[in-house]
Amino acid sequence: MVVYATAADYSGFTGKPAPDGIDAALARASERIDELLIGAVYDTDDNDMPTDPKEREAIMRATCAQAAWSLALGDPYGVAAAFKDVQIGSVRLGGRNTEGGTPRHAPDAARILHTAGLLPGYVFDVAAW
């Protein structure tokens, strides 16, 4: 699995020190970014990292935005979109959400990738379907 950003990248993007658990958050965020990049065409090196510096930076920034989104929501696993009510302390999830709810992908991450020309179209949050 490719992780597109480091703790130092995250600190540079947010302007704040990286929180505990940031490496795991960036790994999960990279998985969400991979979902957005399905169908995107760009050259990669032997480590599956973009070879174009601008594309590499855009993907890194999008990964940081996705991690910050997940951490701010308190939903590091992206499950909030599936439930109407989510509570972290004492784990209360509630019923299945059929109205959309919290998007699985950070709006800023999608915007960064779209602006860089890496998204071929619009992002639809399939978790809401």
Is-contact 54 42, C-beta < 8 A? no
**Digit-coded pLDDT (tens) for 67-95:** 999 999 887 666 666 655 666 666 665 55
By C-alpha distance, which of 73, 60, 67 is closest to 22?
67
Report the distance separating Cα 53 and Cα 42, nearest Å: 11
Distances, alpha carbon 78 to alpha carbons 33, 45, 53, in Å: 12, 29, 29
Structure tokens at 90: 């004492």
Give the rounded percent of residues in the chain with a pLDDT score beyond 90.
60
Residue 5 or residue 41, greater confidence:
5
Report the distance separating Cα 116 and Cα 110, nearest Å: 10
Confidence check: pLDDT of 103 > 80: no
Report the distance separating Cα 22 and Cα 24, nearest Å: 5
Distances, alpha carbon 128 to alpha carbons 47, 64, 80, in Å: 32, 23, 10
Give the rounded percent of residues in the chain with a pLDDT score beyond 70.
71
**Digit-coded pLDDT (tens) for 10-35:** 999 999 999 999 999 999 999 999 99
By C-alpha distance, which of 8, 34, 38 is closest to 23?
8
Residue identified by tokens 């109407």 is 84
Residue 111 or residue 124, greater confidence:
111
Distances, alpha carbon 77 to alpha carbons 4, 31, 84, 105, 115, in Å: 17, 11, 16, 11, 26
